Amino acid sequence: MNGAKDFGKRGAGQKKDDVMKHVLTAIASITVLIIVLIIGFIGFNGIEVLSSVSILEFLFGTEWKPSDGAYGAGGIIIGTILVTLGAMVIAFPIGLAAAIYISEFASPELRKKLKPICEVFAGIPSVVYGFFGLIVLLPMLIDVFPNHLMYGSSWLASSILLGIMALPTIISVSEDAIHSVPQSFREASLGMGATRWQTTHKVIVPAAISGISAAVTLGIGRAIGETMAVMMVSGNSPLIPDPLWNVFSLISTITGTLALEMPEVVVGSTHYSALFMLAFVLMMMVLCVNLIARVIINRTKRKFTGYDPKSTITYRLFGDSETIAHLSDKWHSNKGTIIKYGCLALVFVAGWMAASLFVGDIPSLIFAAIVTVMFTSFPRIMANLNPNSRQEVAICVLMINMVVVIGLLVAIIGYILVNGLPHISVEFLTQFPTDGGAGGGIFPAIVGTLELLVGTSVIALPFGVLTGIYLAEYAKDTRLNRLIREAIDILNGTPSVVFGLFGLTFLVMALGFGQSLIAGCLALAFMVVPVIIRTTEEALRTVPKELREASRAMGATKWQTTYKVVLPAAMGGTITGAILAIGRAAGETAPIMFTAAVAYQPELTGSLLEPVMALPYHLYYLAAEVPGATGAQFGTATVLLIIVLGMFVVASLVRNHYNKKIKW
Q: What is the 3-state secondary structure (H, E, C) of 407-435?
A: HHHHHHHHHHHHHHHHHCCHHHHHCCEEH
| Interatomic CA distance for residues 337 and 227, integer angstroms | 37
435 and 315 in a common domain: no
Q: Which pLDDT does position 592 carry in this prediction?
A: 93
Q: So what's the pLDDT on residue 618?
A: 93
Please report the pLDDT score of residue 486 as a whole number: 86
What is the reported pLDDT for 1? 46
Q: Please state, for a pLDDT cut of 70, what percent of the chain lies above it.
A: 90
Amino acid at 30: I
Q: Are 494 and 279 in contact (CB under 8 A)?
A: no
pLDDT at 299: 62
Instruction: Provide the whole-model pTM.
Output: 0.85
Identify the pLDDT of residue 13: 61
- Between 85 and 317, the higher pLDDT residue: 85
Q: Which residues pair with 251 in a beta bridge?
A: 235
Among the candidates 320, 337, 356, a domain finishes at: 320
pLDDT score, position 318:
47
How large is the average pLDDT for residues 35-56?
A: 91
Is 584 domain-assigned?
A: yes
Domain boundary (257, 288, 320) is at 320
Contact predicate 316/486, CB 8 Å: yes
Specify the pLDDT at position 280: 93
Q: Is 608 helix (H, G, I), strand (E, B) or coil?
A: coil
Task: Calculate the CA 359 to chain-centre distance.
Answer: 38
Asked whether 493 and 223 are in contact (CB, 8 A), the reply is no
Q: Which residues contact 181 (CB under 8 A, 6 or more apart)?
A: 203, 204, 207, 208, 304
**More confidently predicted of 70 and 664:** 70
User: How many C-beta neighbours within 10 Å does residue 453 have?
Assistant: 19
Q: Taking Cα atoms as reference points, which of 44, 516, 486 lies closest to residue 279?
A: 44
Nearest to 603 by CA among 593, 613, 595, 615: 613
In a domain, 385, yes or no: no
604 pLDDT higher than 70 = yes
pLDDT of residue 386 exceeding 70, the answer is yes
129 inside domain: yes
User: So what's the pLDDT on residue 427?
Assistant: 92
Residues 118 and 259 in one domain: yes
Amino acid at residue number 198 = Q
Q: What pLDDT is recorded for position 163?
A: 92
**DSSP three-state, residue 73:** coil
* Whether 508 contacts 595, CB under 8 Å: yes
Structure confidence by residue, pLDDT tens digits, 119-169? 777 788 999 999 999 999 999 999 988 888 878 889 999 999 999 998 888
Residue 321: per-residue pLDDT: 52
Q: What is the tally of structural domains in the chain? A: 2
| pLDDT value at residue 307 | 45
On the question of pLDDT at 300 being above 60, the answer is no
Is the Cα dihedral 593, 594, 599, 601 positive or negative?
A: negative
Is residue 212 domain-shared with residue 81, that is, in the same domain?
A: yes
> What is the domain range of residue 181?
46-320
CB 647 within 8 A of CB 580: yes
Q: What is the pLDDT of residue 7?
A: 43
> Is residue 139 one of the residues assigned to a domain?
yes
Which residues on adjacent β-strands are paired with residue 70?
65
Sequence-distant (6+) residues with CB within 8 A of 164 are 90, 91, 121, 129, 408, 412
CA distances from 453 to 34, 419, 635, 637 (A): 20, 26, 20, 17
Any domain includes 251:
yes
Does residue 196 lie in a domain region?
A: yes
Residue 525: the pLDDT is: 94
CB-based contacts of 401, cutoff 8 Å, min separation 6: 94, 97, 98, 101
Position 301 confidence tier, pLDDT thresholds 50, 70, 90: low
For residue range 235-254, list pLDDT tens digits in order: 888 888 888 888 899 999 99
Q: Name, of 17-21, 294-298, 316-320, 322-326, the range with top average pLDDT.
A: 17-21
Sign of the CA dihedral running 600, 253, 57, 239: positive
Q: The domain that contains 222 carries what CATH number? A: 1.10.3720.10
User: Is residue 463 in a domain?
Assistant: yes
Per-residue model confidence (pLDDT) at position 322: 59
3 state SS for 470-537: HHHHHCCCCHHHHHHHHHHHHHHHCCHHHHHHHHHHHHHHHCCCCCCHHHHHHHHHHHHHHHHHHHHH
pLDDT in the model for residue 480: 86
For 332-371, the pLDDT digits (tens) are 566 667 777 777 887 888 888 788 888 887 888 888 889 8
**94 and 221 in one domain?**
yes
- Among 182-191, 272-281, 329-338, the minimum mean pLDDT is found in 329-338
The per-residue pLDDT for 258 is 92
Q: Please, which pLDDT band fits residue 324 given cuts at 50, 70 and 90?
A: low
Model confidence at 611, pLDDT cuts 50, 70, 90, reads very high
Mean pLDDT over 461-490 rounds to: 89
Beta-carbon neighbour count of residue 383 at 10 Å?
10
Contact 250, 237 (CB under 8 A): yes
- Show which of 320, 340, 368 is a domain's final residue: 320
C-alpha–C-alpha distance, residues 638 and 428, integer Å: 12
Q: Are 528 and 651 members of one domain?
A: yes
| Closest-CA residue to 78 (of 208, 239, 288) | 239
Query: How many Cβ atoms from other residues are within 10 Å of residue 126's Cβ?
Result: 24
Residue pLDDT, tens place only, 547-597: 888 888 888 888 888 888 888 888 888 888 888 888 888 888 989 999 999
Query: Over 90: is that where the pLDDT of 619 sits?
Result: yes
By the 10 Å C-beta count (0-12 exposed, 13-18 middle, 19+ buried), 341 is classed as exposed
> What is the rounded average pLDDT of the residues 518-541?
92
Residue 316, pLDDT above cutoff 60: no
For residue 664, what pLDDT is reported?
A: 56
Residue 663: exposed, middle, or buried by beta-carbon count in 10 A (0-12, 13-18, 19+)?
A: exposed
The predicted pLDDT at position 504 comes to 92
DSSP 432-455: -EEGGGTEE--HHHHHHHHHHHHH
Residue 380 lies in a domain: no
pLDDT band at 306 (very low <50, low <70, confident <90, very high): very low
Beta-bridge partners for 132: none
